[in-house]
Structure formats: structure tokens, C-alpha cells
Amino acid sequence: MKLYHITPKGNLHFQLADGRLAAVYPETGYVRVSMSMNNFRRHEYKVKALARFNKVVENKNPGNVAMYPINQREISTTQVPVNRDLFYVGSTGTMYKYHHSLYYTMESSTCKRYPNQITKLMDLLVAFEKKNCVPSNMSASLYDRLADKFDNITINKWPC
């Protein structure tokens, strides 16, 4: 993980081990990461995406790179009342107002946020990198052994 830019608001921008970009937003409590480059069918697309990310790091301008939150999702369900101005036709053909309360269940999800908890946000990012960002030409165990020996400077407790 390489820190390449700090914004005036204190947002931290990183380039991860596999070339992806990541951002930590302490004010709002989000951690965001760009798309994986392992799912391209043609190798030249991966090379172009990596070159684009490297140019962003060189210019220190994340610009319009699409990033997705990696914060844990919380699923919540709510009971939403249905408009009771419903009418139904009785057996005699006359209209009646529906007298029972009606509800439907709506499910939604939100990201768990950690505003102003930089240690928690950095722990999320480090765990994400360790789990998902092993360079594709290395096995995970080899990556762990090399990361302990080479090019791994620790600031506080996070590798940068």
C-alpha cells in the first residue's frame, strides 16, 4: 500500500499492492476501493487500467475514478403502511372502503460508517488489501513472506 495523496479535508488516497486505488474518508467514515483488474478477459485491458491508475498516482489527482465502498453492509427491514383509501367491491356489487391496516415489508441496506475513527478505517483497508490485493502472479503465502521482509515500511501500525 502506497500513500500518494492527502486532500485538504484529510482524505487519504492509496495505491494498493495489485495497482487498485483506495480512499479513506475520515470525516464521513467510508473506505472506498476501485474495481478489481483480475476479471478482464483480455490482458491489454488490464494493462490499460493499470496504466490509468499509475497516471492518477503520478499526477496525485484521483479525478473521476469510480470507487466502491467496502464498509460492512447493514440490512434493515421496515413495515411501510399502504394507503388505506383502497376500495373493494363486495358480493352485492357495492364499493366498500378497506377497513384493515395494510403493511408491506421493505428491505434496504446501508454501509456501516465510522466517522472520525481513522484507526478503524485503516484497519478495514489493511484487512481488505491483505485478503484481496495479492498480486496475481504470486501465491498468497509467498506474498506474506515477502511483505514481511521487503518494501514494507510501517507507519504507526499500518503498512504504507
Q: Please choose, from the candidates 37, 47, 36, 7, the residue with its C-alpha nearest in 3D space to the C-alpha of residue 24.
A: 7
Mean of pLDDT values over 57-83? 86
3-state secondary structure of 68: strand
Q: What is the mean pLDDT of the chain?
A: 79
What confidence score (pLDDT) does residue 155 get? 46
Q: State mean pLDDT over 75-101.
A: 73
- Residue 109 in contact with residue 77, Cβ under 8 Å? no
* Spatial distance between the Cα atoms of 94 and 17, rounded to a whole number of angstroms: 71
Average pLDDT for 41-47: 83
Q: Residue 62's closest CA among 111, 20, 113, 104? A: 20
Percent of residues, the chain, with pLDDT higher than 70 = 74
Share of the chain above pLDDT 90, in %: 14
Q: Tell me: the pLDDT tens digits for 95-152?
A: 666 666 778 888 988 889 999 888 899 889 988 988 887 654 544 455 455 555 544 4
Domain chopping of the chain, boundaries: 2-71+113-159, 74-109
